[in-house]
Amino acid sequence: MPPFQIPSYDPKRASRCPVSGSIARKFKVSEKSDFRIDYSVTVGGI
């Protein structure tokens, strides 16, 4: 069995929603932080 691997993540690159395949938006979590999550408008989730 192959070891568990975390896929590489590039915050500048667009990602796709695994459910719908549409492009996910970068949603800023807080004004004080640069941290963002990928949000799918089509599905309405992260």
Tens digit of pLDDT for each residue in 1-46? 556 665 666 667 778 888 998 988 888 888 888 888 888 888 888 8
pLDDT score for 37: 87
- 33 domain-assigned: yes
Q: Nearest Cα to 46, choosing from 19, 10, 13? A: 19
- 39 domain-assigned: yes
- 5 domain-assigned: no
- 6 domain-assigned: no
Domain count, the chain: 1
pLDDT score for 38: 87
- 1 domain-assigned: no
- 22 domain-assigned: yes
pLDDT score for 14: 79
Is the pTM here over 0.85, yes or no?
Answer: no
Domain that holds residue 22: 17-46
- 35 domain-assigned: yes
pLDDT score for 13: 77
What Å distances lie between residue 12 and 1, 3, 26, CA to CA?
32, 27, 9
